[in-house]
């Protein structure tokens, strides 16, 4: 029932040990208090008897009229060789009877003492009965604690078992989010984390299927072109120039296939980059370096790249190669879709979430109803395989950032691509 190293076992044992210790300590103090109270009462009675005898030559006074008070009581006059330092009282058992004896000074000049003995066997039996009752109560209480610990541990582990059953029934074809409202409040963060993971797995499976289908489709097209061109060429004898043209067409189709294969290899490289150890890096420094590289490309295409970065320094712990891949894809797409003599902007600023990296172009914009992060999705009539944004989205997920692609909302037309690096990855430093 209870597996080793399980949370339930640890909780079960700790609850039993803590509860049993509490009961044992409480009952021990209670018994000792009862025993000491009874013995103090008997001691006070014997001292009162001794005081009455010493003062009034009588064993009782007007307040001691109950005959049961004198039952089992004996008084003797003894002479000691030495004077005790204090009133002596001791307990003695004889013939299965228990006696409590008090030695009380009567005349110190001749060392005469009163020896008052009281049969406390009924009191001793009463204490034994109390002790036995406490033992029985503790045993019953201990059993109840075990039953309570079993029930409570089952109740506490029930949400985990429910989550385990639901997750075990899932596969890549059947995944459903966990209903957070059905979980205890303490398990809501765990449920949200699991749902986030399920969504990422769903997207991964979806994109993997689209990647396989898209790869087959994209590779099939140039192969069909090569085959068709070769078939036409072989139908009849042609001039050397016509053969050269056919070979050029074949080489172009081969180049297209190589481009597709290279992008697919980039996916594998990206998965390897995700396993790289994150390092602490200044995000602003990375952006400045990447922007300087693309400034030359922009000028060569008769376009202008404008950069504005805030703050001056922003430290984050992540895989730099993945960040470079995202920013590079943003800038490549922006330059590709921006007409000549237009501008591309790369900015960074802080918000309540973290650091936002934004690239704006002055192109024709996008169709926001299309999932451009899916593999082989292309926008417009520009060349490309359609894997760049898919790789950027995968890289953003790997570093725990969020990526967004939308049309600009200001007076200019174009696209806004943004990457938000959440603050838990970062340590912002501001300099004046």
Most confident of 172-186, 211-225, 406-420: 406-420
Most confident of 173-187, 271-285, 357-371: 357-371
**Confidence band (pLDDT; 50, 70, 90) for 297?**
confident
Mean local confidence (pLDDT), 309-334: 86
Q: Bridge partners of 347? A: 308, 358
Is the four-CA dihedral 75, 79, 80, 84 of positive or negative sign?
A: positive
Q: Which has more confidence, 89 or 426?
A: 89
Mean local confidence (pLDDT), 366-372: 78
Alpha carbon of residue 329 to chain centroid: 34
Cβ 331 vs Cβ 338: under 8 Å: no
Q: Quickly count: other Cβ atoms within 10 Å of residue 371's Cβ.
A: 14
Q: Kindly report which listed range (29-33, 57-61, 349-353, 427-431) carries the lowest average pLDDT score.
A: 427-431
Cβ 191 vs Cβ 178: under 8 Å: yes
Domains recognised in the chain with CATH numbers:
7-145 (3.30.450), 205-274 (1.10.287), 279-429 (3.30.565.10)
Q: Which residues of 283-304 are buried (b: 16+ CB within 10 A; e: fewer)?
A: bbebbeebbeebbeebeeeebe
* Predicted confidence (pLDDT) at residue 148 exceeds the cutoff of 70: yes
Q: What is the pLDDT of residue 349?
A: 92
Q: What is the pLDDT of residue 269?
A: 57
* Predicted confidence (pLDDT) at residue 3 exceeds the cutoff of 60: no
Q: How are beta strands 304-309 and 343-350 bridged, if at all?
A: parallel
């Amino acid at each position: 029932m209870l597996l080793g190293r399980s949370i339930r076992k640890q909780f079960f044992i700790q609850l039993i040990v803590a509860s049993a210790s509490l009961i044992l300590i409480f009952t021990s103090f209670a018994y000792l208090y009862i025993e000491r109270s009874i013995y103090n009462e008997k001691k006070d009675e014997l001292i009162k008897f001794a005081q009455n005898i010493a003062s009034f030559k009588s064993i009782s006074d007007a307040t001691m009229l109950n005959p049961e008070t004198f039952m089992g009581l004996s008084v003797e006059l003894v002479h000691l060789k030495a004077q005790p330092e204090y009133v002596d009282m001791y307990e003695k058992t004889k013939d299965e009877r228990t006696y409590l004896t008090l030695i009380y000074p009567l005349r110190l000049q001749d060392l005469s003492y009163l020896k008052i003995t009281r049969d406390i066997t009924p009191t001793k039996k009463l204490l034994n009965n109390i002790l036995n009752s406490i033992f029985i109560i503790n045993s019953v209480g201990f059993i109840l604690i075990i039953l309570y610990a079993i029930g409570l541990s089952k109740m506490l582990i029930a949400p985990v078992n429910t989550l385990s059953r639901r997750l075990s029934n899932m596969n890549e074809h059947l995944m459903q989010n966990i209903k957070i409202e059905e979980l205890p409040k303490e398990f809501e963060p765990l449920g949200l984390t699991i749902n986030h993971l399920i969504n990422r797995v769903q997207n991964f499976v979806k994109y993997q299927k689209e990647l396989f289908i898209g790869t087959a489709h994209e590779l099939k097209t140039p192969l069909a072109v090569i085959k068709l061109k070769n078939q036409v060429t072989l139908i009849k004898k042609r001039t050397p120039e016509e053969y050269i043209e056919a070979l050029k067409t074949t080489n172009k189709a081969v180049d297209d296939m190589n481009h597709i294969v290279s992008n697919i290899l980039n996916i594998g490289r990206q998965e390897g980059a995700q396993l790289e150890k994150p390092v602490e890096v200044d995000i602003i420094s990375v952006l400045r370096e990447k922007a300087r590289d693309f400034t030359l490309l922009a000028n060569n295409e008769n376009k202008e790249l404008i950069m504005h970065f805030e703050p001056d320094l922003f430290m984050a712990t992540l895989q730099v190669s993945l960040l470079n891949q995202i920013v590079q894809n943003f800038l490549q797409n922006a330059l590709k879709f921006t007409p000549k003599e237009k501008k591309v902007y790369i900015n960074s600023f802080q918000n309540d979430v973290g650091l936002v990296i934004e690239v704006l172009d002055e192109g024709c914009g996008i169709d926001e109803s299309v999932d451009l992060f899916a593999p082989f999705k292309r926008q417009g009539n520009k060349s490309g395989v359609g894997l760049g944004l898919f790789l950027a989205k995968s890289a953003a997920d790997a570093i725990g950032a969020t990526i967004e692609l939308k049309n600009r909302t200001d007076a200019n037309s174009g696209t806004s691509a943004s990457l938000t690096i959440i603050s838990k990855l970062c340590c912002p430093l501001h300099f004046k």
